[in-house]
Amino acid sequence: VRPVAHAQQRLKEAEKLGFGSAVLPIGSEEVAGGIGAGAFQPTELADLVARIAGSRRGRADDEE
């Protein structure tokens, strides 16, 4: 997960588009409010993959 320029602006736009969460790299600029306040910051890629797999597994369980 790599940092991007203008993260705060991008998060504000994502929130306007209906996104409810975000993934940010550790050490990214300070993000206040909105979806950035509760952003997931994985320490390694495996953490992100596990989180995605867990959220999909929960959805599959709901469908049964």
| Amino acid at the residue 39 | A
Structural tokens at position 51:
């989180």
Can you tell me the distance from the alpha carbon of 47 to that of 42, in angstroms, rounded to the nearest whole number? 6
Give pLDDT tens digits for 8-32: 888 899 999 999 888 888 877 666 6
pLDDT of 58 reads 54
pLDDT at 38: 76
Residue 59: the pLDDT is 54
Spatial separation of the C-alpha atoms in residues 63 and 2, rounded to whole Å: 34
- Residue 34 CA to residue 32 CA, distance in Å, equals 7
How confident is the model over 30-62, as pLDDT tens digits? Answer: 666 777 777 888 989 999 999 999 876 655 555
Residue 22, helix vs strand vs coil: coil
